[in-house]
Structure 1
């Protein structure tokens, strides 16, 4: 894995996040790993030149994420890398 390109946000339970980050608590609960794990995978694959949908498919088929969760992870990473 490369250096951390995108850091997971600090989520305040009192203020529900909007956008892709709104999925992160559910992702952690469903898959039992911190969202940072998934962000790192997505950032590495995007850094290798894979497209958004290629990374979504990888997260689904190789790692067992649902489509919505995988898409949220990739969308978040892409937005942060574009900043």
Structure 2
């Protein structure tokens, strides 16, 4: 599997919204666990598991403070 961002072009093409839209949505879910965030994207936005997981993984890795 490539990096989560390698999915971004297909996510934008399939769901018709820029990745920034999804990342803003994920920001509003602060404090939720990874799989709970994936479930919201799948259940409320009809997103496939791979695309949802890639967005959440990218969001969480970008929001972690550097070590």
The TM-score normalised by the length of structure 2 is 0.90
Q: 1:74 aligns with which of 47, 50, 56?
A: 56
Which position in structure 2 is the counterpart of 1:22? Answer: 6
Displacement over 2 Å in runs of 4+: none
Q: Name the count of aligned residue pairs.
A: 64
Root-mean-square deviation (CA), in Å?
0.9
Q: 1:41 aligns with which of 25, 30, 33?
A: 25
Gaps of 5+ in 2: none
Q: 1:51 aligns with which of 33, 46, 60?
A: 33
CA deviation profile, 1:12-54 (whole Å, cap 9, x unmatched): xxxxxx5000000000000011111111111211x1x110000
Return the index of the structure with the highest Cα Rg: 1
**Higher share of residues assigned helix:** 2
Q: CA deviation at 1:75?
A: 0.2
